[in-house]
Amino acid sequence: MTGKLITLEGGEGAGKSTVLDTVRAALVAHGVEVVVTREPGGTPAGEAIRAVLLDPRLRGMSAETELLLMFAARAQLVREVIRPALAAGRWVLSDRFTDASYAYQGGGRGQPATRIAALEAWAADGVRPDLTLLLDLPVVEGLRRANGRGEADRIEMENAQFFERVRDAYRARAAAEPGRFRVIDAGRPLAEVLAQVQGAIAEFLARGGVPA
Ligand code: T5A
């Protein structure tokens, strides 16, 4: 028996962390055993890499270094957490995964999609989500929410144009894979966002946990 991988994606301040408990609760209520993780991070090595990636003192980091560090953390997460959990029949719920690299390092930084795809096949061992909830909202609103949390990390220090490219890249990926993605209108009041999320999970479970 193999489990399923569900990922939460979106720009800064989209509300991924806020909706995560609702997703987990919906899966547990369905009798699913869930492992929750996040990217970059989710393992001791990955969390150490995350600290480097988000350190605001490291603003000179090259796009190539950033991309490789994202996949270094992901390589560890796949082998230490995701693969073993799926093999044991558990479901994995991850706050971000490889789509974030296509959006941020691809759309935001201009790294070629072919390069990211090669890393996805090698470092991420070809692991792909079964369902991805994309929390989409205008960049200005997301940054307003994120800024309310205090000091910006290295990536949050980018300008609005960067985050517009990130959003465009996410939306393009969702349009290209409508069977895997569910786009959530994250600009709505929280109760409405949670209702959309619950609907998407219920639909996925009703399909037996396979992409549409
Ligand atoms: N990254 C990551 C890459 O560049 N490439 C990669 O491959 C990966 C994996 C860290 C950074 O790394 C980058 C992307 C990021 O810049 P992260 O840990 O996911 O990734 O980022 P965080 O800063 O932790 O999280 P986000 O900025 O993405 O925020 P969330 O989790 O989406 O938003 P959340 O839930 O904390 O909500 C933000 C605020 O809005 C409120 C919440 O209460 C909170 O105060 N809020 C709402 N307010 C009104 N209405 C609603 N519907 C609301 N929903 C939430």
Written in H, E and C, the secondary structure of the chain is CCCCEEEEEECCCCCHHHHHHHHHHHHHHCCCCEEEEECCCCCHHHHHHHHHHHCCCCCCCCHHHHHHHHHHHHHHHHHHHHHHHHHCCCEEEEECCHHHHHHHHHHHCCCCHHHHHHHHHHCCCCCCCCEEEEEECCHHHHHHHHHCCCCCCCCCCCCHHHHHHHHHHHHHHHHHCCCCEEEEECCCCHHHHHHHHHHHHHHHHHCCCCCC
pLDDT number for residue 150: 80
Predicted confidence (pLDDT) at residue 26 exceeds the cutoff of 80: yes
pLDDT number for residue 148: 80
Q: How confident is the model at residue 124 (pLDDT cuts 50, 70, 90)?
A: very high
pLDDT number for residue 104: 98
Q: How confident is the model at residue 22 (pLDDT cuts 50, 70, 90)?
A: very high
Cα 169 to middle of ligand 1, angstroms: 17
What rounded mean pLDDT belongs to the chain? 96
Q: State the sign of the Cα–Cα–Cα–Cα dihedral 148, 151, 154, 159.
A: positive
How is residue 96 written in tokens?
Answer: 């971000």
Atom nearest to 95 CA in ligand 1: 19
pLDDT number for residue 1: 60
90-107 tens-digit pLDDT: 999 999 999 999 999 999
Average pLDDT over residues 152-158: 94
Predicted confidence (pLDDT) at residue 24 exceeds the cutoff of 90: yes
Nearest to 94 by CA among 41, 169, 49, 149: 41
Average pLDDT over residues 99-122: 98
40-92 tens-digit pLDDT: 999 999 999 999 999 999 999 999 999 999 999 999 999 999 999 999 999 99
Distance, in Å, from the CA atom of 151 to the CA atom of 143, rounded to the nearest integer, reads 12
Atom nearest to 18 CA in ligand 1: 35
Q: How confident is the model at residue 212 (pLDDT cuts 50, 70, 90)?
A: low
Ligand 1 cavity residues, CB under 6 Å: 10, 12-18, 38-40, 70, 95-96, 100-101, 104-105, 145-146, 148, 155-156, 189-190, 193
Ligand 1: which of 7, 9, 18 to mutate, most ligand atoms within 8 Å of CB? 18
What is the pTM (predicted TM-score) of this model? 0.97
How is residue 105 written in tokens?
Answer: 């390092």
**CATH 3.40.50.300 for domain 5-206:** yes
Domain extents in the chain: 5-206
How is residue 38 written in tokens?
Answer: 């996040």
Distance, in Å, from the CA atom of 187 to the CA atom of 118, rounded to the nearest integer, reads 34
pLDDT number for residue 123: 97
